Amino acid sequence: MVDIIHRVGIKAPLAKVYAAVATVGGVAGWWTEETSGESQPGGTLKVLFRRPDGGEMGSIEFEVLEPSPGQSVRWRVKAGPPEWLGTDVTFQLQQDGDYTVVNFGHVNWREPVDFMRHCSTKWATFLLSLKELVETGKGRPAPDDVKIDNWN
C-alpha cells in the first residue's frame, strides 16, 4: 500500500476550514462545482468532473466515515476509477498560531501507478484551492481547476 500525503497551512480559524472540508457546499468551492450528496458520517458524497466538451469525464462516490478523534474528515471510495476503489481520503486539521494546518492523505493505493502520480500533483492544486477559498472567498474548483498535464 502506498499513500499520497500533503500539508497546507491556511490563515483562518479551524472552524472555517472544517466547514469547507466537511460540507457539500464547502467542497463545491474548492474541488468540483458538481459536488452532491450527504457530508455527514454514514452519508454518500459524490463528486463529478466533466471534459471540456461538457461530457462526463468521471465521478467518484465516497462513504463518509466517522472522523478520528480531533477535527478530521474521512471518506472511503465506494465507486469511481478502479485505482481509487478502497482507498481513503483524509483531512486532519490542527490549529498552529494564526494558521489551521491541514494534514492530508489519500491512502492505501495498491500500486504507485502513473495515475497516482497525476492525482498526487492534482491534490496539491486542490488543497491550494481550498486555502484560496478560505483565505479569499474564492477557490478554483473544476471546471476552473489548474491543469497539470495531458490528462487534466
Least distance from C-beta 145 to its own copies, angstroms? 12
What strands, in cross-sheet order, belong to the sheet with 56-65?
2-10, 99-109, 88-96, 71-79, 56-65, 44-50, 35-37
Among 14, 48, 57, 128, binds its own copies (CB under 8 A): 128
- At 119, give phi and psi (nearest 5°): -65, -35
Binding of its own copies at residue 13 (CB under 8 A)?
no
Binding of its own copies at residue 44 (CB under 8 A)?
no
Binding of its own copies at residue 4 (CB under 8 A)?
yes
Site for its own copies in 47-86 (CB under 8 A): none
Binding of its own copies at residue 23 (CB under 8 A)?
no
Quick one: which of 83, 41, 29, 86 has its CA closest to 58? 83
Binding of its own copies at residue 146 (CB under 8 A)?
yes
Least distance from C-beta 55 to its own copies, angstroms? 20
List residues near its own copies by CB under 8 A: 2-9, 96-99, 101, 103-104, 112, 114, 116-118, 120-121, 124-125, 127-128, 131, 146, 148-151
